[in-house]
Amino acid sequence: MKTVYVRTVLCILTRLFLLLLAYGEDAVDSAKRNPNELFTIEGKASVPGMKASEWIPATKILIDGGTYQGFLKSDGSFQLFVPTGSYVIDLTHPALDFEPQRVDVNSKGNKRARKLNNIQPNAVSHLTYPLRFKPKGQMNYFQKREEFRIIDILKSPMVIMMVLPIVFLVLIPKLINTDDPEIKKEMQSLNLMNPKQDMPDLSEMVTNLFGGGAPPQKKKEKAVKGKKK
Amino acid sequence: MAASSSITTVTLVALFLAHFPSFEALYEDQVGKFDWRQQYVGNIKQCIIEHGGTRRHIFVSTDANVLAGIHAKTGNVAWRHIFRQGDIGVINALIYTGQELVTVTGNGFAVRMWDPSSGVLQWETLTSQTTPMEKSQTPAVLKFNEENSAKKPRIAVTYAGHVSVVNIKNGEELWKDAIPNSDSVQDFLLQVSTDEDDDGVLVVIGRVPGIGFRVVRFNAKDGSVLGQTQIPSPWVQEDTKCITLSGDKIVCADTQSKSIRIATVKPKQQTQSGFISVPLIKLQLQIQDFRVEPLEKFSMDAGDHQSFVLRLNEESIAWVKLDGDDIRIIQNIPSVLAHSFDLYKEQYMLTTASEDQSKRFILLQSFSKDGEVASLKNRIQLPTQSGSIIMVSASHMDKKDKSIGSRVLVKTSDEGLHLIQQGGQITWSREESLASALSVEMVDLPVSETEAQFEDEFGTKKGDNIFSMFARRISTQMSQLQSYFVHLKKKIESFQHGGVVHHGVDQLTYAVQYESDETMGEYLTRDEFSLHKIIIVATKPGKVFGLDSEDGAILWSYFLPNVAPIERGGKLTLPLMIQRTTAHFPNPPQCTIIAKSKDSDKNVIFSFNPINGKPSLPEYPVGQVLPNPLRQATMQNIVDLEFMKVIVLLDKDNKVSVYPSTAESIVAKNMDKIYLFTADSTSGALNGYRLLPLEENELLKGEFHPIFSAEEVWHVQLPSLLQRITHVVSKRPTEEVHSQGRVLGDRTVLYKYLNPNLVVVISEGEDATAKSHVTVYLIDVVTGNIVFQTDHKRVEGPVHVVHSENWVVYHFWNNRFRRNEVTVLELFEGKSQKNSTAFSSLDPPSAPLVERQSYVFSEALQAITTTQTEKGITSKHVLMVLQSGGIVSLPKRILDPRRPLVPTQQHKEEGLIPYTPELVVPQTAYINYNQSVFGVRSIHTSPAGLESTCLVLAYGLDFYFTRATPSNLFDVLKEDFDYLLIGTVLIGLLVAAIVTRRLASMKALRQAWQ
Amino acid sequence: MAAYIENSSKAAAKICFQLLLTVCVIFATKTSKRLVSDDGDDIISSLSLPIQHSIQTGDQLVFIERGSLNFKSLTHGTGSYHQSSALMPHESNLLKELAASGGLYRARVPTQLLSLQTSEDIGYVSSYMKACSLLESNMSDEVTIHADQSGQVLGISILPIKGTCTKSIDEISAMDLTTFNTTVTLSLVVPGPVPDTQAYLEKMEEERLQKKANGTDNRSFFAKYWMYIIPVVLFLMISGGQEQPRGGGGGGS
């Protein structure tokens, strides 16, 4: 009798205890968790190579693009007061490029900073907290003008085609002594100055390949003879 | 995980670089050539002239929630902080201690201290640990020194039934206590007092209208409650003005009994003695309505002065001192426009501004408690279009010769600021009304006189024969030759003088008035490419400006003193319409503004000439009052005989009148082509109307009599319980569309759905599950046909929309993924066109194909618009003003809904860029390089004479003007065109050719002789 | 002893079972707390709307019943039109008058939305078309009902098949107008587009894998450099052609 009594009491007690565990935790938690409670996000921005007074007055802190607001102090540190949630913190300056970061603040006040990935918003790539901001570099707004370089002109094929032959024609005779009759003969044999009989040769050559024949040689002999005279 | 995301970004960047259309971007040497920026602060609420430190700055807090430091010498903004819009950012108090600048914002939520010279935040303290409430009351703020020591300055702030005391030096919250019994208290007053034990006591006095005051005394050091009492005073109403004075006094102005009530807040628990009444008749002052004001707003009056200001009848003031249980007048100054007090060598000085006898000048006088300081009496003349003085702030200091000097900052009813230094000259003026610019238009300049004379040549007079016309032409050409020589001479002169200078300031950081000059007439003629325009700006206080687009200087301004903007759907608007441009010589150009009258709820219509700012109808210098309040005013595309566009006015009884009234017959002829529509944002109802002639017996006589009635022809009802209509955006009526379709990869044409009557309606709100929701409707407003509707769940505003040609681009915040997104909708008719000449909504093509796509965007926006050119040939760019201050120009090609994820050969033929879900903004797309703009309300574009150029103006707290060339400058020789190089090469080759010919002929001759 | 053990084990089993039950109940209620249904209002599975029209000229608008529009389900699609009664002759004459004078034929449909806000009687959404174009299309028209997801009617659009008006007055008076030939469609809110990040990420993954597998460019040497080889060969051939005949000529003489 007594054991039965004790057993039922134990049953009830365990059940009550479990129930309390399940729901009570909720009740206690919701009393602790004020959804509007503000938490502090801390961070520091630094720009190597510039004095603080140069860049701090023009730098603004944007939280979620302006939904909340924070200000930089004179040493580059800042504190932001936000309720729980996930925020994008971005620093803007007209000449410096900062990388935005995402900060999650959970209901217990734990803060986690991670890389901003808009394509995969849930991807977690941890960054240091308290936040550290350093500029990626200068903002580069301008295109460079095409500068005028002599090299560019000289490299263009039109100029090369025009200038190089002239250079050859002028330079090479200067280098060789043209009064020597032998060299003169050589030069003429090079057929540089002769009228272009060579061009048709290509077609001649092709027809030669497919059919035979020596008739063109006679014409050429006559022409050469004429020239020599 | 990190590797994959980095690879993603790398491939993204690589793809982007490979396929991205090559960007036009600025060159560094183009900086400042055709763009300018101006920065404003807004309508100032409180103003403090720096009297400690370097005395260089003037600190202001404004209605636009801006805190700024202005250089006292030049009027430029030295530093500026823009707080959030709405109650959360409202600046309640601005306190300057001589070394620290403290602000209380958000109705007592945040207390911050700033460095006065650089504006950098020193510390920030919140008086509450939870997010601020939606509606909160104006807080009571008091600056005091604990133990009367200048080393321990403190500030006490009330917020949400609590009072907090913060140490001004380091921002530490010393204590915070709940104010007991503060339920029915309407507002608080703060006071410091000393205890019997000489401890500092902070007294919080809560006013309960109809009952009295509840007094709570706290120990100033640790916040322990010392005692609570009540002072019953049933005469206290909601609007009774009360102040606290040193020596535990409360003074109230009881207008009911026309007396001043004085009470002493007794320490400890003694029963309060209540208020002593001092009737004003005793003082022999003629009063009807009066108020009491403290000398300094947020601190106890210095020392034991116990003096305050009695403001009588809104006209005169009396500087009054408490004398035991009575009051004594120190100074009585009748007919004062504005006054201010400041401390000079521990004494209070009163500065007043009043109208001169002759009503043309303003008299500035300074008084100490012993009388007027004669050396500081000044007579100044304000600029003509300034309105009257409404606020004065002064600072007295020792000049170099140890005599007393003063600096006075004056605010006029047109929200302008003027600084007057000793000597009576206005050192600088700022037109802060430009910060609340509501409408902007750009107007071409008129052609020069000689050009105009050509119009005249082919005379309109009858009976002209050939000879007289010939004679006229000869004379015109002679005068043209003459003016050309004069022009040449001027150019040579100006070349010698180094350019024409029209104003004294190099880079205008705020608009400066031009000196009127004869050269102005010649300066204001149309240039070759019509790039020089006049920018017409209509602002909230009713002032209209004409700005020069070259540098932003004010050419003319006109102030309408009794006019206010019209409120529609929670937003303020001031419709500004260009009725006639300068293209119709000799008819003068005309612009019209429609506003609301300040005194009644009737509307005012005002027309003026945009070139010189003079009213078009000189007999109505401040506009005409319309007999019936209006529901809507639209400008139609119908012109009367004098080329003036007609404005159709729809009033509350659905009757329609026409402005100008001479155009009635023309409107009657075109009656069946005019359809009106209205959208009501609170009830979600959209109605369309057509015009019907009125019955004879309903026709009234007089100006603006209605001649038509508007009959409702269609009605659309959008859900309005949980959502509101926030945007109704139609296309610009003067927009040109160059091509009727797109050529696809297989050489067929996809025709665009170009419906001129299409309007985008956006409603924001919540859906049934309390998640934020945005719906976009495309509605044809002639038939009420909802062409397309789409919605986005878990998406929040503010939504920025641009609607042009056959596409709509809109931007919002996606709450689910916590990122910004941009969506584009593009409408097409299909492979065939129903009617290639005109679109009729009553016989429309079948339902259009709506291509749509959405992208992730990394930035939040302030404003969005599209470029507009004269013929529409240039490709369109979407201009976005980012919250980070930059203005970016993105080609429409990347916002193309047909962008494929995996491009096929046909897609490549068409020139489509492959789809990437993220829109990356390259740095070269910023058209305002490092001139960041904030507080931008909207951005306006206007076509220039050149097809490739579009003029852009972003306006709001900052103004920024520049030129955008979406397809580069394709119709003009580029700026760095190498005239020099080509010239030298040509001449060199010519010379070389001649020389070589000569040499060759000489050589041949020599050879022939051999 | 054994019986006692048996009893106690049975009791223990019972206790365990009951504990399990309680735990299950707790979990069930907890999870059901978390499951919030997305649609708060009842889904109307079918929709039937009476449609009225106004066919009179003159200032006073009188709407009379025309028929009803029925939709089987609230998906985007077609519905059916049922005319309550054929047009009476005097109504037909009124319509002809309306068409002859160039007036507007209006139609309206009731909507729930207005009555939610105000306590008036039923609100209507209405539209119109030119009466002569209705006759031109021989009483065939297209009615589209625009509604939101929960079935609330936002607007109506009524369009004729042929939008022009070419018939003369005699032709009009000769027409016999009794029944409407109406095609009915229901147009609902389309869910807005979302940035397609999934497909894009998959595509990126695929490309990455492909690139890994492919390796470097392994076309043949000739295929890569044919652009440079051909002109050199041609040049050689030309200069070779020169030499040969010259050589031949020189040898000959």
What dihedral angle (degrees, nearest 10) is formed by the CA atoms of B933, B939, B945, B946?
Answer: 60
Give the separation between CA B785 and CA B452, rounded to whole angstroms.
Answer: 47
pLDDT at C251: 44
Q: Assign B943 a pLDDT band (cuts: 50, 70, 90).
A: very high
Contacts with A156 (C-beta within 8 Å, 6 or more apart), sequence order: none
| CB C143 within 8 Å of CB C134 | no
Residue B148 has pLDDT above 90, yes or no: no
Q: Lowest mean pLDDT: which of A46-60, B557-571, B797-811, C36-50?
A: C36-50
A22 vs C: CB within 8 A: yes
Give the separation between CA B407 and CA B664, rounded to whole angstroms.
Answer: 56
What dihedral angle (degrees, nearest 10) is formed by the CA atoms of B575, B581, B582, B584?
Answer: -150
Helices C221-252 and A215-228, packing angle to 10 deg: 70
Tokens 């309105």 correspond to B387
Mean pLDDT of C190-207: 90
B903 vs C: CB within 8 A: no
Give the separation between CA B572 and CA B567, rounded to whole angstroms.
Answer: 5
Give the separation between CA B537 and CA B549, rounded to whole angstroms.
Answer: 12
Give the separation between CA C137 and CA B843, rounded to whole angstroms.
Answer: 12
Q: Lowest mean pLDDT: which of B450-459, B758-767, B772-781, B982-991?
A: B450-459
Cis peptide before B798 (omega within 30 of 0): yes
Furthest-apart CA pair in chain B: how many Å? 140
By Cβ distance, the residue of C128, C146, C203 closest to B713 is C128
Q: Which other chains touch chain B, taking contact as 3+ CB pairs less than 8 Å apart?
A: A, C
Which residues face B343 on adjacent strands? B348
Contact B840 C104 (CB under 8 A): no
Nearest CA-CA distance, residue C233 and chain A, Å? 13
pLDDT at B608: 95
- Mapped onto helix, strand or coil, the DSSP state of residue B839 is coil
Task: Quote the tokens at residue B198.
Answer: 């000489």
Among chain B residues, CA nearest to C105: B713
Which residues face B827 on adjacent strands? B850
C191 vs B: CB within 8 A: yes
Mean pLDDT of C84-112: 84
In degrees and rounded to multiples of 5, residue C18 shows phi and psi of -65, -40
Nearest CA-CA distance, residue C140 and chain B, Å? 14
Among chain B residues, CA nearest to C106: B713
In degrees and rounded to multiples of 5, residue B456 shows phi and psi of -70, -25
What's the N-to-C CA distance of chain C in angstroms?
140
Which residues face B894 on adjacent strands? none
Task: Quote the tokens at residue B666.
Answer: 């023309």
Give the separation between CA B611 and CA B445, rounded to whole angstroms.
Answer: 7
Mean pLDDT of B614-630: 90
CB atoms within 10 A of CB C77: 13
Can you give the pTM of this predicted structure?
0.84
C52 vs B: CB within 8 A: no
> Would you give the DSSP letter of residue B696?
G
pLDDT at B665: 87
Chain C environment of B856 (Cβ under 8 Å): 195, 197
Residue B573 has pLDDT above 60, yes or no: yes
Element (H, E) at A218: helix A215-228
Mean predicted lDDT score pLDDT of chain B:
86
Mean predicted lDDT score pLDDT of chain A:
76
Residue A20 has pLDDT above 60, yes or no: no
Pick among B794, B815, B819, B984 to test the A interface (most A CBs inside 10 A): B819
Residue A23 has pLDDT above 70, yes or no: no
The 3-state secondary structure of B862-906, one letter per residue: EEEEECCCCCCCCCCEEEEEECCCCEEEEEHHHHCCCCCCCCCHH
Pick among B930, B936, B969, B989 to test the A interface (most A CBs inside 10 A): B930
By Cβ distance, the residue of C23, C197, C246 closest to A120 is C197
**Torsion sign (Cα): A21, A22, A26, A27:** negative
Nearest CA-CA distance, residue C26 and chain A, Å? 7
Task: Quote the tokens at residue C144.
Answer: 């589209």
By Cβ distance, the residue of C104, C111, C197 closest to B717 is C111
Task: Quote the tokens at residue B152.
Answer: 């321990």
pLDDT at C114: 66
Highest mean pLDDT among B285-289, B450-454, B974-978: B974-978
pLDDT tens-digit map of B28-59: 777 878 889 999 999 999 999 988 667 789 99
Q: Which other chains touch chain A, taking contact as 3+ CB pairs less than 8 Å apart?
A: B, C
A202 vs C: CB within 8 A: yes
pLDDT tens-digit map of B867-901: 999 998 999 999 999 999 999 999 999 999 999 98
If we measure between CA atoms, which residue out of B894, B762, B880, B891 comes closest to residue B25? B891
Residue B659 CB burial class (10 angstroms; 0-12, 13-18, ≥19): buried
Task: Quote the tokens at residue C245.
Answer: 């005949």
Chain A environment of C197 (Cβ under 8 Å): 119-120
- Mapped onto helix, strand or coil, the DSSP state of residue B312 is strand
Give the separation between CA B830 and CA B851, rounded to whole angstroms.
Answer: 11
| CB B122 within 8 Å of CB B76 | no
CB atoms within 10 A of CB B99: 14
Mean pLDDT of A118-138: 86
Cα B106–chain centre separation: 22
Mean pLDDT of B102-117: 93
By Cβ distance, the residue of C238, C242, C249 closest to A224 is C249
Residue B849 has pLDDT above 90, yes or no: yes
Q: Assign A192 a pLDDT band (cuts: 50, 70, 90).
A: low
Q: Which other chains touch chain C, taking contact as 3+ CB pairs less than 8 Å apart?
A: A, B
Residue B979 has pLDDT above 60, yes or no: yes
Size of interface A-B (CB pairs under 8 A): 125
Chain C environment of B715 (Cβ under 8 Å): 108, 124-126
Cα C40–chain centre separation: 23
Chain A environment of B8 (Cβ under 8 Å): 119
C113 vs B: CB within 8 A: yes
Furthest-apart CA pair in chain A: how many Å? 149
B581 vs C5, more confident: B581
pLDDT tens-digit map of B406-446: 889 999 999 999 999 877 788 999 999 999 999 999 999 98
Q: Assign B333 a pLDDT band (cuts: 50, 70, 90).
A: confident
Residue B21 has pLDDT above 70, yes or no: no
Q: Assign B566 a pLDDT band (cuts: 50, 70, 90).
A: very high
Give the separation between CA B168 and CA B145, rounded to whole angstroms.
Answer: 10
CB atoms within 10 A of CB A227: 12
Residue B388, phi-psi category: left (phi > 0), alpha (psi -120 to 50), beta (remainder):
beta
Q: Assign A24 a pLDDT band (cuts: 50, 70, 90).
A: very low
Q: Assign B255 a pLDDT band (cuts: 50, 70, 90).
A: confident
Size of interface A-C (CB pairs under 8 A): 56
C202 vs B: CB within 8 A: no
Contacts with B334 (C-beta within 8 Å, 6 or more apart), sequence order: B315, B316
Nearest CA-CA distance, residue C158 and chain B, Å? 8
Among chain A residues, CA nearest to B79: A57
Q: Assign B866 a pLDDT band (cuts: 50, 70, 90).
A: very high
Among chain B residues, CA nearest to C117: B721
Q: Lowest mean pLDDT: which of A48-62, A120-134, B76-90, C2-16?
A: C2-16
Mean pLDDT of A161-186: 74
By Cβ distance, the residue of C123, C129, C194 closest to B842 is C129
Contact B818 A64 (CB under 8 A): yes
Tokens 């008006």 correspond to C165
Contacts with B567 (C-beta within 8 Å, 6 or more apart), sequence order: B573, B596
| CB A74 within 8 Å of CB B124 | no
Tokens 């155009």 correspond to B663
- One-letter amino acid identity for C211? K
Highest mean pLDDT among B873-882, C32-41, C124-133: B873-882
| CB B67 within 8 Å of CB B53 | no
Residue C14 has pLDDT above 90, yes or no: no
Q: Assign B519 a pLDDT band (cuts: 50, 70, 90).
A: low
Residue C8 has pLDDT above 60, yes or no: yes
Contact C241 A205 (CB under 8 A): yes
Chain A environment of C245 (Cβ under 8 Å): 201, 204, 216-217, 220
Contact A90 B884 (CB under 8 A): yes
Chain C environment of A217 (Cβ under 8 Å): 245, 248-249, 252
pLDDT at C44: 56
Contact B769 C38 (CB under 8 A): yes
How far is CA B189 from each of CA A200, B87, B847, C243, rounded to the nearest angstrom?
110, 21, 65, 114
Task: Quote the tokens at residue B844.
Answer: 């429309």
Which residues face A132 on adjacent strands? A44
| CB B960 within 8 Å of CB B551 | no
Give the separation between CA B337 and CA B352, rounded to whole angstroms.
Answer: 7
Give the separation between CA B913 and CA B907, rounded to whole angstroms.
Answer: 8
By Cβ distance, the residue of B1, B24, B130 closest to A37 is B130
Residue B298 has pLDDT above 90, yes or no: no
pLDDT at B752: 93
pLDDT at B755: 92
Q: Assign B933 a pLDDT band (cuts: 50, 70, 90).
A: very high
Q: Lowest mean pLDDT: which of B129-133, B321-325, B520-524, B688-692?
A: B520-524
pLDDT at C215: 60
- One-letter amino acid identity for B701? K
Contact B717 C113 (CB under 8 A): yes
Give the percent of chain B with pLDDT over 90.
41
pLDDT at B296: 83
Task: Quote the tokens at residue A104.
Answer: 């999650």
Task: Quote the tokens at residue B604.
Answer: 């005012």
> Would you give the DSSP letter of residue A21?
I
Among chain B residues, CA nearest to A147: B976
C120 vs B: CB within 8 A: no
Chain A environment of B112 (Cβ under 8 Å): 71
Strand pairing class (B849-857; B918-919): parallel
How far is CA B993 from each of CA A161, B93, B602, B989, B1005, rounded to the nearest angstrom?
18, 82, 82, 6, 18
pLDDT at B477: 85
pLDDT at A19: 55
Highest mean pLDDT among B307-321, B456-470, B862-876, C147-161: B862-876
Give the separation between CA B415 and CA B387, rounded to whole angstroms.
Answer: 9
| CB B868 within 8 Å of CB B941 | yes
pLDDT at C243: 55
pLDDT at B114: 94
- Mapped onto helix, strand or coil, the DSSP state of residue B792 is strand
pLDDT tens-digit map of C143-188: 999 988 888 889 999 998 888 888 777 777 777 777 888 889 888 8
pLDDT at A177: 62
Contacts with B309 (C-beta within 8 Å, 6 or more apart), sequence order: B292, B293, B294, B295, B317, B318, B319, B320, B339, B341
- Mapped onto helix, strand or coil, the DSSP state of residue B364 is strand
Nearest CA-CA distance, residue C196 and chain B, Å? 6
Query: Any idea how long chain A is?
Result: 229
If we measure between CA atoms, which residue out of C116, C126, C120, C117 comes closest to residue C51? C126
Tokens 């149309």 correspond to B526
